[in-house]
């Protein structure tokens, strides 16, 4: 049992939908595919919803017309006239529901998260209809399934949390019978269903998350994430010319890379797979013959495999005079950051100096001035001092076991010191997965390049034997499980 997921760029037009369909057909039955909205459609839906709420109906209509054009282009690529007619009718029904929802928003002159989720789901639902019809037109029996009947969530619209037990039960009811009948199931990504049946969305990385949730619910042998990059890269290729695909990484390495800024996977995407030990493979629809990256529980090697950076962060330093007040002060700071919905990237504490540091993603907090005052307000019962550095970056060198080597952090700091890159803080993760340094944001790209050169090195002179035939790669996915 294989679950494949295709991102928006992989289904952006009729030609790419056909390419994705050919990839699906190479996998053995039973199989299920999870699809995103066509590239650009989600942003257009969000823009249309915002314009409806603000009363800008002309701009709203323009966005809807552009969505229609994208969908009509994909529909035009369905070669079987009967399947094209059926899919067109289904998409028209979805667009009619979209227009009704936008009208409701315009009348209310406000956009709730519930309405936003209902509106934005149109993209994924339309693509699932069109992908299933494309497969049938190619002679592959297929059926579309909307994820709001499968992926059970709570009612936190906009960023819903899944209910894995309910998802398993609903997958058994709405997906397994189709698979047992030999059909390829095409399910929407990104969306789920609240307890009352309302459509929710899973937030950032939601489509990938949908795939691993479905894979866990179906006890899949493997989940494949088909995207526009050939796998997990050792660095951002825009920053490092010698960046290359990492063939195998562990779950822990993947989560660390995602946490510290790598864009291939969202951290929570891996969690359902980890729970059931399901391999996750990252592949490119634009280079399907490439083997990609396999994410498994244990990956060989004790070297640094990838370097990543996250910029635009804020470093808060808090000094508490009384040592016995540290725990209470830390609790107050965590409470305030939670109230303000601030994402914490890293925390450290030096008890001997009564000092705590919080590396945070400031989002829309208003900058250091506002954030410092908010923290001081939370610490009004303590004689605490708060200092703040804006626009800093975290750089992480990730490799399972590499961080356990005693000299590794010293070597990394030496690399940065020789380049006169100031280090604001550093840590050697006890998990043995990452070496982490905090630097001024303007030095982040240079730091990544230098660390990559020192720990990973240039590309091998010859890539002979690296490419594999597509059939071999596809069949390997079955053997992994």
pLDDT in tens, the chain (481 residues): 999 999 999 999 999 999 999 999 999 999 999 999 999 999 999 999 999 999 999 999 999 999 999 999 999 999 999 999 999 999 999 999 999 999 999 999 999 999 999 999 999 999 999 999 999 999 999 999 999 999 999 999 999 999 999 999 999 999 999 999 999 999 999 999 999 999 999 987 788 999 999 999 999 999 999 998 899 999 999 889 999 999 999 999 998 888 888 877 777 888 899 999 999 999 999 999 999 999 999 887 778 999 999 999 999 999 888 777 788 899 999 999 999 889 898 888 875 668 889 999 887 778 899 999 999 999 988 888 999 998 899 999 999 877 677 788 899 999 999 999 999 988 876 667 889 999 999 999 999 999 999 999 987 765 444 444 444 444 444 333 2
Predicted local distance difference test score (pLDDT) of residue 324: 72
Residue 470, SS3 per DSSP? helix
**How many CB atoms lie under 10 A from the CB of residue 469?**
9
Q: Are 427 and 348 in contact (CB under 8 A)?
A: yes
- H or E stretch covering 142: strand 142-145
Q: Are 306 and 403 in contact (CB under 8 A)?
A: no
Closest CA to 188 of 169, 212, 210: 210
For 423, the token pair is 């280090």
What is the Cα–Cα distance from 78 to 370, expressed in whole angstroms?
54
Q: Are 349 and 333 in contact (CB under 8 A)?
A: no
b/e map 204-213, b = 16+ CB within 10 Å: ebbbbbbbbb
Predicted local distance difference test score (pLDDT) of residue 349: 81
Closest CA to 33 of 172, 165, 179, 166: 179
Predicted local distance difference test score (pLDDT) of residue 60: 98
What's the predicted TM-score (pTM) here? 0.86
Q: State how beta strands 31-35 and 2-6 pair.
A: parallel
Domains, the chain, with CATH or none = 2-228 (3.40.1160.10), 306-455 (3.30.2130.10)
The size of the chain, in residues, is 481
């Amino acid at each position: 049992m294989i679950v494949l997921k295709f991102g928006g760029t992989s289904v952006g037009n009729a030609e790419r939908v056909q390419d994705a369909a050919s990839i699906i057909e190479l996998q053995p039955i039973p199989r299920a595919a999870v699809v995103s909205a066509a590239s650009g459609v989600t942003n257009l839906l969000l823009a249309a919803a915002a314009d409806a709420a603000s009363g800008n109906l002309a701009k709203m209509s323009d966005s809807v017309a552009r969505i229609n054009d994208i969908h009509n282009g994909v529909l035009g690529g369905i070669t079987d006239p009967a399947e094209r007619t059926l899919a067109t009718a289904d998409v028209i029904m979805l667009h009619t529901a979209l227009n009704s929802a936008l009208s409701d928003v315009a009348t209310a002159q406000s956009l709730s998260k519930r309405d936003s989720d209902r509106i934005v789901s149109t993209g994924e639902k339309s693509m699932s209809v069109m992908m299933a019809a494309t497969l049938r037109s190619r002679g592959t029996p297929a059926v579309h399934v909307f994820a709001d009947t499968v992926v059970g969530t709570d009612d936190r619209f906009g960023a819903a949390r899944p209910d894995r037990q309910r998802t398993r039960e609903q997958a058994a009811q709405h997906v397994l019978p189709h698979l047992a009948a030999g059909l390829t199931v095409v399910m929407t990504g990104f969306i789920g269903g609240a307890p009352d049946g309302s459509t929710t969305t899973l937030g950032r990385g939601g489509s990938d998350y949908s795939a691993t949730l479905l894979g866990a619910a179906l006890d899949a042998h493997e989940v494949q994430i088909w995207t526009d990059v050939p796998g997990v890269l050792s660095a951002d290729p825009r920053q490092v010319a010698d960046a290359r695909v990492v063939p195998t990484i562990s779950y822990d390495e993947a989560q660390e890379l995602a946490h510290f800024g790598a864009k291939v996977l969202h951290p929570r995407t891996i969690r359902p797979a980890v729970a059931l030990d399901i391999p996750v493979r990252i592949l490119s629809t634009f280079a399907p013959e490439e083997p990609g990256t396999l994410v498994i529980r244990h990956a060989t090697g004790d070297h640094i495999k990838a370097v990543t950076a996250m910029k635009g962060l804020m470093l808060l330093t808090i000094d508490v005079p009384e040592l016995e007040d540290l725990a209470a002060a830390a609790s107050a700071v965590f409470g305030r950051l939670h109230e303000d919905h601030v994402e914490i990237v890293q925390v450290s504490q030096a008890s001997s100096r009564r000092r705590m540091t919080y590396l945070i993603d400031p989002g829309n907090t208003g900058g250091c001035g506002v954030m410092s005052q908010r923290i001081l307000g939370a610490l009004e019962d303590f004689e605490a001092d708060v200092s703040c550095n804006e626009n800093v970056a975290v750089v992480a060198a990730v490799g399972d076991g590499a961080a356990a080597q005693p000299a590794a952090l010293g070597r990394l700091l030496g690399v940065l010191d020789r380049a006169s890159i100031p280090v604001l803080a550093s840590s050697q993760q006890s998990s043995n997965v990452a070496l982490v340094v905090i630097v001024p944001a303007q030095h982040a790209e240079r730091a990544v390049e230098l660390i990559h050169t020192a720990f990973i090195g240039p590309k091998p002179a010859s890539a002979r034997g690296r490419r594999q035939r597509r059939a071999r790669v596809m069949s390997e996915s079955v053997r992994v499980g």
